[in-house]
Amino acid sequence: MEEVMNSFNFLTAPDVPTAIQLTNNQLSAFIAGGTNLLDLWKYNLVNPTALIDINQLAALSEFRELENGGFRLGAAVKNAETAYHPIIESRYPLLSRAILAGASAQIRNMASNGGNLLQRTRCYYFYDHQVPCNKRIPGSGCPARDGYNRMHAILGASEACIAVFPSDMCVALAALEARINITGGDGERSLAFSDFHRLPGERPDLDNNLKPGELITSIDLPAKGFPLNYSYLKLRDRHSYAFALVSVATALEMDGNTIKEARIALGGVAHKPWRSLEAEEFLREKTACRENFAAAADIILQGAVGLEYNRFKIKLAKNAIIRNGMMAIDPDSQLPGAQPSL
């Protein structure tokens, strides 16, 4: 292994433009909660020469009602603060549930909203410097494909990489069609949630479309939060504090028992939260029932590929989509596994 420096400087900035300016050094990194970054640093997976603290930036630390009826989440706001915010609990309960299904109480008190989007994969080969990994060292190979791939992708994977993106929060943000506000040296831009993360393709080292030196400043939730019919189901090896094997965020707009609009996003199955607009369109004006959710699941899982140890995920995902659809009809009916406290 090449010799690495594990020392870094610690910098603060009074405002976003100054923070961006400090990134002129390509080896710098922004730090908010640090729960993933410092862990990656301890594993020698990132070696910044400077960390730029963004916790003092007022623009990143606020909640804000938007003129279009939406709600803005500051990028440096903590996950727990977001999940327990009265507006999130009442208008975006799917997001609250998804956040509370992830990590532990301590980590949710530390981890930031922007950082949640930037988590690296939990593929064990990525963390192991003794083996190749195309995400860690592009072109070196992927031992996961023929190795122990129980937690790996069944959708959207490439020859180069079968890693999955581990966030729960982002599965709900995908279903809710949030937007990501970004500032960089070239100014501000906004990305649809589905355009933020990327599939591995030939460049699994790139998890998302954030450019070097760019900073996530906030996440905008649209006005429609699906507060009446929603459910987040997370299936995992341990009842709590484990990453998803499969998770499903379902949000429905209902008229009686008829679905007017459906959103379904999957976690734990791909390099990004997985949605199928075709399946969601299929459910429009359909009765909310097991048969229709099963048909939607078949559309979502078209092209799913199982490997030696993760084949079970295809059937697990289908059943999870059906079960979560039924629970979304009446959130009070949610069974163990769909509520973080049960």
Residues contributing to the site for another protein (CB under 8 A)? 6-14, 18, 21-22, 24-25, 28, 31, 34-35, 38-39, 41-42, 49-51, 53, 55, 80, 84, 103-107, 109-110, 239-241, 340-342
State how beta strands 9-12 and 229-235 pair.
unpaired
Instruction: Say how far apart CA 28 and CA 253 lie, in whole Å.
Output: 44
Q: How far is the CB of 150 from another protein (least distance, A)?
A: 18
Question: Six-digit token pair at 299?
Answer: 């559309």
Q: Classify 247 as helix, strand or coil.
A: strand
Q: How far is the CB of 33 from another protein (least distance, A)?
A: 8
Q: How far is the CB of 66 from another protein (least distance, A)?
A: 27
Q: In this complex, which beta carbon is closest to another protein, that of residue 193 or of residue 243?
A: 243
Residues 6+ apart with CB under 8 A from 22: 11, 13, 28, 50, 52
Q: In this complex, which beta carbon is closest to another protein, that of residue 50 or of residue 289?
A: 50
Q: In this complex, which beta carbon is closest to another protein, that of residue 100 or of residue 162?
A: 100
Q: In this complex, which beta carbon is closest to another protein, that of residue 10 or of residue 256?
A: 10
Q: In this complex, which beta carbon is closest to another protein, that of residue 109 or of residue 194?
A: 109
Instruction: Say how far apart CA 204 and CA 224 lie, in whole Å.
Output: 33
DSSP of 83-126: HT-HHHHHH-HHHHHHHHTSS-HHHHHH-BHHHHHTPPP--HHH
Beta strands, E only, 32-87: 50-53, 63-65, 71-74
Q: How far is the CB of 44 from another protein (least distance, A)?
A: 13
Q: How far is the CB of 37 from another protein (least distance, A)?
A: 9
